[in-house]
C-alpha cells in the first residue's frame, strides 16, 4: 500500500482524531491511505481507507472520545459473524454487510469492534463542530444527537464513496478546494439523513460583495502553486464556509475549485505556448502535484492533452492558421 504523503502526514499531526495512521493503529494495522482538510478551528475532516487481507487479531483499541462522527462504508462484503461491534460496552447485533453499506457511530460512544475476515473500508471523520456550522448557515440549530446506523443502505454515501475512492491518498486532493467542497456535500447529507433535519434548502442570499469577490480571486491567484482552503477565503470575507461557497458560485458562475482549476490551466497554457519547459515542470509551476494530475485536469477543461495542444498552438504561431 502507498505511504501517506508528507502533506497528509503534516495535516494529520496538526490535530488529534480517529483517522489516518492513528485510526490504523487502533485496528492493529501499520498504515493507511488518507486525505484530510481543515474544517472548523483545528479540527479536520478526513477520509481514511483501511484494508486487510486477513482481518485483525484482536478487538480495536479504545478510541479517545471526541465530538465527531465516524462514518464507514464497506468496499468488500463482510460475512455474518465475521464482524463484532460494541457501543458503550454493549454488544450490537451485526448482520451480513454487503458492499457499499454505511455505518454511523458517535466517537463519544466508545465504539470497539473486531473483524475476523479480510476487509476494505472507507472511513469518514466528521467533526460535529463543522456539521453545526453547516446547520447554522441554513438557519437550523445545531444538532444534539445523530442516529446510530449499521449496514445502512445509503445510496448517496455509496455514490460519494465510489467517487472519492480512487482519490484517497492523492497528493492533489489533500487539503484541496475539491476536498473542501466534497466535505460540505457530505456534511449536508449527514445532517439530513442522520440528524433528522429537513432538506437543507439554499437560503435566499445574493453573491459576494464586490470587495469579497475581488479578495477571494486575489487569494486564489496568489496561491496557484499552494494549497488554499475554503475556510481561509471565507474567513477573509467574514462568511461561513458554506455561505461563502454558495455566494461564490452565484457571483462567478462556478465553484471555487473550478475557478482555481481554470486559472491554473490558464497559467499552464501560457507556459506551454511561450516556453520550452518540459510538461512535468509546467505541471508543477501551474500548481499541480504531478504531470498525471495536470494531464487529467487539462483534458477535462481543454478537451485535449497538453502535448498535443502545445504542438497545435506552436504550429499556428509559426505557420499561421
- Please, are residues 286 and 272 in contact by the beta-carbon 8 Å criterion? no
β-bridge pairing 112-115 and 44-52:
unpaired
Q: Is the pLDDT of residue 285 over 50?
A: yes
**Coil, strand or helix: which one is 77?**
coil
Grid cell locating 53: 487481507
**Res 9: pLDDT:** 42
CATH of the domain spanning 6-194: 2.60.120.10
Q: Which three cell numbers stand for residue 249?
A: 458560485
Residue 243 has pLDDT above 80, yes or no: yes
The pLDDT of residue 320 is 59
Residue 139: the pLDDT is 78
Q: Domain spans of the chain?
A: 6-194, 210-253, 258-319
What's the rounded Cα separation, in Å, for the pair 188 and 171?
A: 25
Q: How far is CA 94 from CA 87, 113, 155, 224, in A?
A: 12, 11, 20, 47
Is residue 212 pLDDT above 80, yes or no? yes
Residue with more model confidence, 201 or 278: 278
Does the pLDDT of residue 83 top 90, yes or no?
yes
Q: So what's the pLDDT on residue 293?
A: 87
Provide the pLDDT confidence category of residue 282 given band limits of 50, 70 and 90.
very high
Give the H or E element holding residue 127: strand 119-127
CB atoms within 10 A of CB 39: 28
- In the structure grid, which three cell numbers stand for residue 231, read together? 475556510
C-alpha 209/C-alpha 229 separation (Å) is 20
What's the CATH architecture for 258-319? Answer: Orthogonal Bundle (1.10)
Range in 5-14, 139-148, 312-321 the model is least confident about: 5-14
At 118, the pLDDT band (50, 70, 90 cuts) reads very high
> Taking 70 as the threshold, does the pLDDT of residue 3 lie above it?
no
pLDDT one-digit tens code per residue, 121-142 = 999 999 999 999 888 887 788 8
Which whole number is the average pLDDT over 36-60?
90
Lowest mean pLDDT among 2-16, 204-218, 237-251: 2-16
Most confident of 33-37, 49-53, 177-181, 208-212: 49-53
pLDDT value at 7 more than 90: no
**Which contacts (CB < 8 Å, 24+ apart) does range 227-234 have?**
227/7, 227/174, 227/175, 227/176, 228/177, 228/260, 229/37, 229/38, 229/175, 229/177, 229/180, 230/177, 230/180, 230/181, 230/184, 230/256, 231/38, 231/39, 231/40, 231/180
CB 34 within 8 A of CB 71: no
Top-confidence residue, 202 or 236: 236
Average pLDDT over residues 180-188: 92
By the 8 A CB rule, do 25 and 63 touch?
no
Q: What pLDDT, on a 0 to 100 scale, did the predictor assign at position 309?
A: 93
Three-state DSSP at 121 gives strand
Whether 297 contacts 282, CB under 8 Å: no
Task: Determine the pLDDT at residue 6.
Answer: 41
Q: What is the mean pLDDT of residues 213-219?
A: 93
Instruction: Find out whether 247 and 234 touch, Cβ atoms under 8 Å.
Output: no
**Is a pLDDT exceeding 60 seen at residue 73?**
yes
Q: Which residue has the higher pLDDT, 85 or 240?
A: 85
Half-sphere exposure (CA, 13 Å, Cβ side) for 95? Answer: 11
Distance CA 271, CA 57 (A): 54
Q: What is the percentage of the chain residues whose pLDDT exceeds 90?
A: 61
Q: What is the pLDDT of residue 32?
A: 92
Amino acid at each position: 500500500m502507498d505511504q501517506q504523503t508528507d502533506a497528509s502526514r503534516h495535516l494529520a499531526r496538526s490535530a488529534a482524531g480517529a483517522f489516518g495512521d492513528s485510526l490504523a493503529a487502533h485496528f492493529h494495522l501499520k498504515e493507511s491511505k488518507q486525505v484530510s482538510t481543515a474544517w472548523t478551528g483545528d479540527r479536520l475532516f478526513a477520509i481514511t481507507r483501511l484494508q486487510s487481507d486477513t482481518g485483525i487479531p484482536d478487538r480495536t483499541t479504545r478510541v479517545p472520545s471526541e465530538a465527531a462522527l465516524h462514518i464507514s462504508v464497506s468496499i468488500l462484503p463482510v460475512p455474518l459473524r465475521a464482524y463484532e461491534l460494541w457501543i458503550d460496552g454493549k454488544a450490537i447485533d451485526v448482520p451480513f454487510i454487503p458492499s457499499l453499506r454505511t455505518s454511523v457511530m458517535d466517537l463519544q460512544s466508545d465504539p470497539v469492534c473486531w473483524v475476523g475476515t479480510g476487509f476494505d473500508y472507507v472511513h469518514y471523520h466528521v467533526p460535529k463542530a463543522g456539521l453545526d456550522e453547516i446547520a447554522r448557515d441554513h438557519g437550523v440549530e445545531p444538532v444534539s444527537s445523530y442516529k446510530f446506523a449499521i449496514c445502512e443502505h445509503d445510496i448517496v454515501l455509496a455514490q460519494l464513496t465510489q467517487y472519492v475512492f480512487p482519490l484517497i491518498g492523492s497528493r492533489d486532493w489533500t487539503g484541496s478546494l475539491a476536498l473542501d467542497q466534497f466535505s460540505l456535500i457530505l456534511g449536508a447529507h449527514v445532517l439530513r439523513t442522520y440528524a433528522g433535519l429537513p432538506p437543507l434548502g439554499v437560503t435566499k442570499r445574493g453573491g459576494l460583495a464586490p470587495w469579497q469577490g475581488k479578495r477571494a480571486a486575489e487569494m486564489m491567484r496568489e496561491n496557484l502553486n499552494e494549497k488554499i482552503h475554503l475556510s481561509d477565503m471565507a474567513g477573509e470575507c467574514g462568511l461561513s464556509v458554506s455561505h461563502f461557497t454558495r455566494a461564490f458560485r452565484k457571483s462567478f458562475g462556478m465553484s471555487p475549485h473550478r475557478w482555481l482549476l481554470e486559472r491554473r490551466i490558464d497559467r499552464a497554457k501560457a507556459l506551454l505556448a511561450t516556453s520550452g519547459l518540459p510538461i512535468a515542470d509546467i505541471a508543477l509551476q501551474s500548481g499541480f502535484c504531478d504531470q498525471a494530475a495536470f494531464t487529467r485536469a487539462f483534458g477535462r477543461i481543454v478537451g485535449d492533452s497538453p502535448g498535443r495542444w502545445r504542438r497545435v498552438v506552436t504550429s499556428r504561431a509559426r505557420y499561421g492558421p
